[in-house]
């Protein structure tokens, strides 16, 4: 039996994934967590073969969780299952240590296929992302798979940018990400500089437009 953990802050998503995976005779969802912190606290006890991780989590982000899992459990396979646009997040996830990236809108059988491929030592991404990854490798990493101007943002900056686009205040973002208000303000200042935005109002407008246009809702 191959033990799997699911880290996602949406109960219905966790339940749906667990039902699909537990229906397979050789797969077992050993534990489910709503936060990265809870998963890390329990990881040694469960000792799973695979972790299914969402990008957006309260507190520590999914990207940070991937890096921590790689450091703690280098043999663990990690599959990102997320609603976020793969063109912006897939390569980030692979660079962080994940072995696959799949959109939540995919059917249950496709997710099971991705799980099996990753468990067998492979990498699972869509055909489009696979082609772009190969192009990036062929160019020595000089050609990125994302064509988005947001590629210049760090993982945490991108997270702050998204939450800004969702209408979260600086204090709201600080509470969600377990950061100080001052730290969030610093992130926003760096985002404005990297994206050549002149004001907080311009940042808010840009972020809202991105959330609406890129399917990050």
The 10s digit of each residue's pLDDT in 50-69 is 999 998 888 788 988 999 99
Q: What is the pLDDT of residue 60?
A: 84
Q: What is the pLDDT of residue 20?
A: 94
CB–CB of 32/18 below 8 Å? yes
CA neighbor of 79 nearest in space, from 45, 55, 109: 55
Summarised one tens digit per residue, pLDDT across range 22-41 is 999 999 999 999 999 999 99
Angle at 26 between CA 22 and CA 31, to 5 degrees: 45
Number of other residues whose CB lies within 10 A of the CB of residue 198: 8
Q: Residue 141 — pLDDT band, cuts 50, 70, 90?
A: low
Number of other residues whose CB lies within 10 A of the CB of residue 12: 8
The pLDDT of 118-144, averaged and rounded, is 72
pTM score, whole prediction: 0.78
123 CB-contact burial (10 Å; exposed 0-12 / middle 13-18 / buried 19+):
middle
Q: What gap in Å lies between CA 80 and CA 158, rounded to an integer?
A: 17
Give the torsion sign (CA, 166, 85, 4, 69): negative
Q: Is beta strand 2-7 parallel, antiparallel or unpaired with respect to 77-82? A: unpaired
CA neighbor of 206 nearest in space, from 190, 217, 195: 195
The pLDDT of 129-153, averaged and rounded, is 65
Q: What gap in Å lies between CA 148 and CA 85, rounded to an integer?
A: 11
Summarised one tens digit per residue, pLDDT across range 67-113 is 999 999 999 999 999 887 777 788 889 889 999 999 887 878 889 99
Buried b (16+ CB within 10 A) or exposed e, 145-180: bbeeebeebebbbbbbbbbbbeebebeebbebbebe
The pLDDT of 159-187, averaged and rounded, is 91
User: Reduced to 3 states, what is the DSSP secondary structure of residue 129?
Assistant: helix
For the chain, domains (ranges, CATH) are 2-138 (3.40.50.2300), 149-213 (1.10.10.10)
Q: What gap in Å lies between CA 145 and CA 92, rounded to an integer?
A: 10
């Amino acid at each position: 039996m191959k033990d799997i953990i699911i880290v996602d802050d949406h109960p219905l998503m966790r339940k749906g994934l667990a039902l699909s995976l537990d229906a397979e005779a050789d797969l077992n969802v050993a534990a489910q967590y709503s936060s990265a912190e809870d998963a890390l606290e329990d990881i040694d006890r469960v000792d799973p073969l695979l972790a299914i991780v969402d990008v957006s989590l309260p507190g520590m982000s999914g990207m940070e969780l991937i890096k921590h899992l790689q450091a703690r459990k280098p043999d663990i396979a990690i599959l990102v299952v997320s609603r976020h646009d793969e063109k912006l997040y897939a390569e980030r996830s692979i660079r962080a240590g994940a072995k696959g990236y799949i959109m939540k809108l995919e059917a249950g059988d496709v997710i099971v296929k991705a799980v099996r491929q990753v468990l067998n030592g492979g990498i699972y991404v869509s055909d489009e992302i696979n082609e772009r990854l190969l192009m990036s490798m062929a160019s020595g990493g000089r050609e990125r798979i994302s064509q988005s101007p947001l590629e210049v943002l760090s993982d945490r900056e991108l997270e702050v940018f998204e939450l800004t686009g969702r209408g979260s205040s600086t204090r709201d973002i600080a509470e969600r990400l377990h950061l100080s208000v001052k730290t969030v303000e610093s992130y926003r200042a760096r985002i404005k500089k990297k994206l050549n935005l002149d004001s907080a109002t311009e940042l808010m407008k840009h972020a809202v437009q991105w959330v609406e246009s890129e399917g990050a809702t």
